[in-house]
């Protein structure tokens, strides 16, 4: 058997542990080797301690043997003494050379070796002599078993002085070495644990970075898809807008003439009435039939709303064209309340009661607002989309479900941070979380084919957030109605300013 120092086992264990250079938790939990070292240490300390106990017990057996006259008791003591001495001898050998069954590795450390084999202790010699002397007593004839038997004297002296002191010293040394090794193991375990924690933290942070990179990639991808869709939509919209533009221009261009002609006719009518204050029966019947008084009063209003409507169509067409060529329209300074009122005027027909439909009440809560800089045509388009959606929602509610008056509340507010807030709230059915999550997706609609294209909100989002650096938010729950909140800055910054700022941040 190759000779190795006792703590070679410990070193070997550390070597095995050290070889596992990846500091993961399993390394830290590499308990087999650690347990073995602990077991060996415990066995060595126990057996060396037991040697002390055996030296005392054998001395006691020897003394009793000498004092006992009873033959049978003598025999029992002799065999007890011999058994203890065999064990003592085996343990002693095991401590020095190793003993698998006793879990003794042998190969004591240089310090322990010098205790066994060098002065002043020479423990190996002491133990052997002691065992020899004790065996000699065990084998003495009954006659020789007298109190001043020289073997007995030797044993009693040694067991109370030299031998016991030497055994104590070696037990202490074994204990010390064991403690040092345990400490080293604990320190090593702690270091491994620390390393494994650091490695785990590193792995977690790398995982997070990877996750973030993946998210950014997904975002970039969806933006690309979105841009592609929007540019296709832009082409479509530009084509439609171009087609509508001409007929709208006819209407819009001729409305002034129509208003003038109608005014002329009304003036003429007035002159007729003055010249012929008493109309004929036939004429009077016709006047009553067409309700001339109401007609005269309402016609200019009708003409005005047609003009506002045509103007709005004209603007919408322009902003639709700008949707594809967004740099065409110029920023204007406008009164947002005027924009809301005009939108309501155009939508008037859908708000009024007719047939079974009891109509929708508009509640306005306007604050004092400054004029704001914006692409007014586009902001009007947003208003049209949001109010249009609210009307769609309320129109849909049958009177069986809806026992309350249908309302759209429009409120405005000025924030001293330099923005205005516009709220458009309806008391409709509200939306589910699923619908809310997809609101601003292009082409997302819950309306029947032909009724909704699902573009209103995605366009509005683009106009408010991207074109005006504002925000658009939706608060809605099933059964609780819906509120859209838009915030836009009063002053629009130039695009180059924003680009420069973004570049400096990057
Ligand atoms: N006020 C609201 N109340 C309830 N649901 C709404 C409201 N506004 C929008 N929605 C929901 O959001 C969906 C998307 O709205 P969006 O305006 O983008 O498209 P749309 O109205 O369906 O079609 P389009 O506006 O293109 O005619 C609607 O189909 C509807 O389900
Ligand atoms: Mg819509």
- Mean pLDDT, each 10-residue run in order, the chain (506 residues): 40 41 43 71 89 92 91 92 95 92 89 94 95 94 89 91 92 90 83 86 90 79 61 70 82 89 92 91 93 90 87 72 54 90 82 85 96 88 92 85 86 95 96 94 85 84 91 95 97 68 59
465: left (phi over 0), alpha (psi -120 to 50) or beta: alpha
Task: Report yes or no on 342 lying in a domain.
Answer: yes
**Ligand 1 pocket test, candidate residues 382, 392, 397, most atoms within 8 A of CB:** 392
Enter the tokens of residue 493: 């910054």
Element holding 485 (H helix, E strand): strand 482-489
CB atoms inside a 10 Å sphere around CB 305? 15
Residue nearest (by alpha carbon) to ligand 1 atom 20:
454
CA atoms of 480 and 106, how far apart (whole Å): 84
Picking from 209, 229, 258, the residue at the C-terminal end of a domain is 209
pLDDT of residue 246: 82
Best CA proximity match to 62, nearest among 181, 124, 154: 154
Beta strands in 375-444 (DSSP E): 407-415, 419-426
- The set of residues, in sequence order, having a beta carbon less than 8 Å from that of 344 and lying 6+ positions away, is 351, 362, 387
Q: Is 455 in the pocket of ligand 1 (CB under 6 A)?
A: yes
Atom of ligand 1 minimally distant from the CA of 428: 3
pLDDT of residue 443: 79
Q: How many CA atoms lie within 13 A of 300 on its CB side?
A: 9
Enter the tokens of residue 127: 């133990």
Residue 455 is part of a domain; what is its CATH number? 3.30.565.10
Burial of 2 (0-12, 13-18, 19+ CB in 10 A): exposed
Q: How far apart are the first and last CA of the chain?
A: 71
pLDDT of residue 21: 38
Task: Report yes or no on 50 lying in a domain.
Answer: yes
Task: Report yes or no on 221 lying in a domain.
Answer: no
Picking from 164, 182, 209, the residue at the C-terminal end of a domain is 209
Task: Name the packing angle between helices 123-139 and 150-160 (round to 10°).
Answer: 140
Beta strands in 8-78 (DSSP E): none
pLDDT of residue 421: 97
Centre of ligand 2 from the C-alpha of residue 368, in Å: 28
CA atoms of 36 and 26, how far apart (whole Å): 17
Q: In whole angstroms, what separates CA 15 from the centre of its chain? A: 40
pLDDT of residue 505: 56
Number of structural domains (the chain) is 2
Number of residues in the chain: 506
Task: Report yes or no on 215 lying in a domain.
Answer: no
Proximal ligand: closest to the CA of 460: 1
pLDDT of residue 35: 67
Task: Report yes or no on 36 lying in a domain.
Answer: yes
pLDDT of residue 200: 86
Q: Which residue has the tokens 């990057």?
A: 506
Residue nearest (by alpha carbon) to ligand 1 atom 31:
446
Burial 29-39 (b: 16+ CB within 10 A, else e): ebeebbebbee
Beta strands in 51-102 (DSSP E): none
The string of DSSP codes covering 185-232 is: HHHHHHHHHHHHHHHHHHHHHHHHHHHHHHHHHHHHHHHHHHHHHHHH
Task: Report yes or no on 257 lying in a domain.
Answer: no
The answer to whether 146 and 69 have CB atoms below 8 angstroms apart is: no
Shared domain check, 478 and 341: yes
Atom of ligand 1 minimally distant from the CA of 481: 3
Q: Is 487 in the pocket of ligand 1 (CB under 6 A)?
A: no
Picking from 158, 178, 209, the residue at the C-terminal end of a domain is 209
Q: Which residue has the tokens 């990877």?
A: 210
Q: Classify residue 493 by its DSSP letter.
A: P
Task: Report yes or no on 453 lying in a domain.
Answer: yes
98: left (phi over 0), alpha (psi -120 to 50) or beta: left
The domain in which residue 181 lies consists of: 8-209
Shared domain check, 167 and 21: yes
The answer to whether 378 and 392 have CB atoms below 8 angstroms apart is: no
Task: Report yes or no on 291 lying in a domain.
Answer: no
**Ligand 1 pocket test, candidate residues 456, 477, 482, 484, most atoms within 8 A of CB:** 456
Best CA proximity match to 390, nearest among 329, 320, 340: 340
| Three-state DSSP state, 481 | coil
Best CA proximity match to 196, nearest among 330, 30, 443: 30
- Sequence-ordered alpha helix ranges (H) in 118-161: 123-139, 150-160
The answer to whether 419 and 490 have CB atoms below 8 angstroms apart is: yes
Q: Which residue has the tokens 């060529």?
A: 325
Q: Is 135 in the pocket of ligand 1 (CB under 6 A)?
A: no
The answer to whether 51 and 169 have CB atoms below 8 angstroms apart is: no
pLDDT of residue 227: 59
Shared domain check, 52 and 186: yes
- Output Rg (C-alpha) for the chain, integer angstroms: 52
């Amino acid at each position: 058997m190759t000779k190795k120092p006792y703590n070679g086992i410990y070193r070997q264990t550390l070597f095995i542990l050290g070889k596992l250079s990846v500091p993961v938790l399993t390394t830290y939990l590499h308990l087999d080797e650690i347990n073995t070292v602990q077991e060996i240490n415990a066995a060595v300390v126990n057996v060396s301690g037991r040697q002390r106990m055996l030296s005392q017990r054998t001395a006691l057996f020897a003394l009793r043997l000498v004092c006992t006259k009873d033959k049978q008791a003598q025999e029992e003591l002799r065999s007890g003494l011999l058994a203890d001495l065999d064990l003592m001898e085996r343990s002693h050998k095991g401590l020095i050379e190793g003993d698998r069954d006793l879990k003794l590795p042998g190969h004591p450390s240089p310090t322990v070796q010098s205790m066994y084999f060098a002065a002043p202790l020479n423990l190996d010699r002491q133990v052997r002599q002691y065992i020899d002397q004790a065996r000699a007593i065990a084998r003495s004839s009954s006659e020789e078993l007298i109190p001043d038997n020289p073997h007995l004297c030797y044993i009693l002296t040694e067991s109370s002085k030299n031998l016991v002191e030497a055994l104590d010293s070696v037990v202490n040394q074994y204990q010390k070495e064991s403690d040092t090794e345990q400490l080293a193991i604990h320190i090593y375990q702690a270091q491994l644990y620390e390393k494994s924690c650091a490695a785990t933290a590193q792995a977690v942070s790398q995982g997070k970075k990877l996750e973030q990179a993946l998210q950014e990639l997904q975002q970039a991808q969806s933006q690309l898809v979105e841009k592609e869709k929007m540019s296709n939509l832009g082409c479509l919209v530009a084509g439609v807008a171009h087609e509508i533009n001409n007929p709208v221009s006819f209407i819009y261009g001729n409305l002034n003439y129509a208003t003038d002609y109608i005014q002329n006719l009304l003036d003429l009518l007035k002159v007729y009435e003055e010249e012929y204050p008493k109309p004929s029966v036939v004429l009077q019947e016709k006047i009553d039939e067409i309700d001339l008084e109401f007609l005269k009063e309402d016609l200019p209003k009708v003409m005005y709303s047609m003009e506002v409507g045509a103007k709005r169509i004209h603007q919408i067409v322009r902003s639709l064209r700008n949707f594809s060529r967004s740099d065409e329209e110029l920023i204007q300074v406008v009164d947002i309340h005027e924009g809301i009122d005009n939108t309501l005027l155009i939508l008037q027909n859908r708000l009024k009661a007719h047939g079974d439909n009891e109509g929708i009440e508009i509640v306005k809560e306007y604050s004092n607002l400054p004029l704001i800089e914006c692409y007014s045509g586009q902001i009007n388009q947003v208003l049209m989309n949001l109010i249009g959606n609210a009307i769609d929602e309320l129109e849909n509610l049958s009177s069986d479900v809806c026992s309350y008056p249908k309302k759209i509340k429009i409120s405005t507010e000025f924030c001293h941070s330099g923005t205005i807030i516009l709220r458009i709230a309806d008391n409709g059915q509200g939306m589910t979380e699923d619908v809310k999550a997809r609101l601003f997706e292009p082409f997302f609609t819950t309306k029947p084919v032909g009724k909704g294209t699902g573009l209103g909100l995605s366009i509005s989002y683009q106009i408010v957030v991207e074109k005006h650096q504002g925000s658009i938010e939706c608060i809605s729950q099933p059964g609780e109605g819906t509120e859209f909140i838009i915030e836009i800055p009063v002053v629009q910054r130039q695009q180059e300013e924003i680009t420069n700022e973004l570049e400096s941040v990057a």
